[in-house]
Chains A and B, each alone.
Chain A
Amino acid sequence: MTRVHVSDLVKDYSIRTGLRRSRLRAVDHVSLDLVPGRTVALVGESGSGKSTIAKILTRMEKPTSGTVDVRLDDDTPVQGSLYRRQVQMVFQDPFASLNPFHSIEHHVARPLRIHQRTRTAQETHERVVEMLERVNLTPAEDIAPRRPHELSGGQRQRVAIARALAPGAQVLIADEPVSMLDVSIRLGVLNLLGRLQREDRLAVLYITHDLATARHFSDEIVVLYRGRVVERGPADAVILDPHHDYTKLLATAAPDPERVDRVSLTQEGTDRGDIDNSVCYDHFAGEWQEAGVPAAQARGGAAARSTS
């Protein structure tokens, strides 16, 4: 069992336009916790910083400031190569995340070999078959020697999940794992993730722009807007009782078959210029807080702001 404590994560990118350099803050003091057996959904539009957080968590990018603290049950910090074994990621596009040159077996076998989960070639092959069967790719013996282009999108994403779990990962970052898949397959892949999570007590960060699946698939929702957390809380509370303007806007914009009266299509569009991302509503605390400042300060300053 592994838990992740992310605190005050900040990531700045410097942009060079001509001779001038400017700074773009992609992630602004974001804190969140991932605990075994629970799913946190990170919701936001493109450019809101959710993929940057995924990159930092998988150590593909270094944060400008803030910490990612990963600890095992006995409180030993996870570092070095152990980090790669513990924290894994499922990418958005299953057509791009598998190397067209290599077989399915290669993709699942490499993590096993790198992290010395298996010793001999025979053992590795058996584990690969076992992993493929776990993600419902049967007959696994037939799938293993194939190459990615011979599989459908849903099958590829299952391979990607098998690869992520192969090192024995306890923390799974799923970056829009179903948005590139056909709709009738999405449910199956999400259900598969859910089953694996229960079996292995995984801590899952589910990154998505789809509020409906975020609500049903996760326990907690964190809404991100322009790099800041603007609302967080239990999944149902955030979706059914949104407090922040941006969450409300997202909720009305998402297509909802329950709402066939076209209300949202006839009313005027909301202007996004007046949405404020300096406050955050925390459903757990039941109060407004300041966003974009270190977590310790957030509690104090916000109460005054929201009442004014």
Chain B
Amino acid sequence: MTNLSPANEPSLVDEAEAEEVARDRAGGAPRSGWRMLLPTMTPWLAVGLVLVGVITLFGIFGPYLVGDPRQIRDIGLTPPSADFLLGTTQTGQDVLAQLAYATRGSLQIGLLVGVLATALSAFFGIYGAYRGGFADEAFSLLSNVFLVIPGLPLVIVISGFVPRESRGLWTIAVVLAVTSWAASARVLRAQTLSVRNRDYVAASKVSGEKPWRVIVVEILPNLLPVIASQFVFAVIAAILGEAGLSFIGLGASNSATLGTMLFYAQNGFALSLGAWWWFVPPGLVIALFGMGLSLINFSIDEIINPKLKNLRQHRRRARKAARLERELARAHRRSRPQEPDAVREADGAKEVSAR
């Protein structure tokens, strides 16, 4: 509809183009394609990055700084103290040590599932859509089938079916990835279908690019924000999903995660005994990590949809413009001749535009 950015319009005459080029060059170096993909820093993004960063560092280095999480002592259920910063469990295990190992376990699962699910959705979504025809129909059908399979019940069934001893980290990761890629694949397919028909893809085919290069070099970069957002979402979903599985006792048998901590806390009647230090820390880590990733995701959304980016700024300018205009209208109603300040404003604007 109305054009909100006349300043960015292409210049009118060719002679002016050259001047414009010279002026723009003086303004600053052009941003590279990769830089464009990075979100601009906002308070929300900063909070998200700090949360995710701190928890990740804790997961990586925490286990080296704490004692053995399995060591049983005869001081069960002590509240936080100088010796045990987060108290102990029913069997006298250090909650802080358990938390450090559990965070690492959950992060591993999250990352693993995130990578697997993103790879699956990228393959089925992008490749199918690019090839079109039978491949697209088949891949599309497959993702539709996976989409209507209820995720959690399937995960429970599969996890229950696999014998406990062989139910390792990888099994759980694969199960979670297989049940979570379909929705992302559909979004990617839609995006690819739209990008595939753009002229620049046709142009690169005409110049003789090989199909894989067209996908990887021409199409993929334009999908990266979407893929990044899906990856982040997949990580959140995986950590929550794994926590849910472990909580009902179907998690990985050989690894400790935040979900298994909650499972043991539940079995040890932590809630009814009032041992908040046992179940609050793992719950909080899950919640804060999820929140951090979500905040990062919002910032990625702004890249996908640049309109969101300038929304606040735009609203502020709009309010200012509306206010100034109301004043002018009021002046008009009071008297036909123009108010002196309206004239001054116009002069100011002229100066700016003449620059």
Interface residues of A (CB under 8 A from B): 58-60, 81, 84-85, 88-89, 91-93, 96-103, 110-111, 114-115, 138-139, 142-143, 145-147, 150-155, 160, 163-164, 166-167, 182, 184-185, 188
Contacts and interface: CB of A to CB of B under 8 A. Distances in A.
Nearest to A112: B207
A163 B33 contact: no
Interface in B209-229: 209, 217-218, 221-222
Interface of B: 10-14, 17-18, 20-21, 24-25, 30-33, 36, 198-200, 202-209, 217-218, 221-222
B203 A91 contact: yes
Nearest to A184: B13
Given A100-B222, A103-B33, A145-B30, A154 B14 contact: yes
Contacts of A111: 207-208
B26 to A, nearest CB: 10
A91 B202 contact: yes
B202 A60 contact: yes
A152 B8 CA distance: 9
Given A85-B208, A110-B204, A153 B30 contact: no
Contacts of A89: 203, 206
Q: Which 9 A-B pairs have the closest CB atoms?
A: A152-B10, A84-B208, A97-B199, A96-B199, A101-B221, A99-B200, A111-B207, A101-B33, A91-B199
B278 to A, nearest CB: 50
Contacts of B24: 150
**Which DSSP category, helix, strand, loop or mixed, fits chain B's interface?**
helix
**Which DSSP category, helix, strand, loop or mixed, fits chain A's interface?**
loop
A160 B199 CA distance: 11
Contacts of A164: 207
A96 B200 contact: yes
A267 B236 CA distance: 69
Contacts of B33: 101-103, 147
A98 B31 contact: no
A204 B31 CA distance: 36
Given A96-B198, A147-B30, A60 B206 contact: yes
Contact of A84 (B17, B30, B207): B207
Given A99-B222, A150-B24, A182-B12, A93 B199 contact: yes
B30 A167 contact: no
Given A110-B207, A155-B10, 9 more contacts: A97-B200, A114-B209, A139-B21, A150-B30, A152-B17, A153-B10, A155-B17, A160-B203, A164-B207
Contacts of A98: 200, 203
B45 to A, nearest CB: 22
Given A99-B218, A100-B222, A167-B208, A142 B199 contact: no
A182 B203 contact: no
A166 B208 CA distance: 12
Nearest to B195: A99
Contacts of B205: 60
B31 to A, nearest CB: 7
Given A93-B199, A111-B207, A111-B208, A142 B10 contact: no
Given A60-B202, A147-B30, A147-B31, A114 B208 contact: yes
A80 to B, nearest CB: 10
A58 B205 CA distance: 9
9 contacts: A88-B207, A91-B199, A91-B202, A114-B209, A147-B36, A152-B10, A155-B17, A160-B203, A184-B14
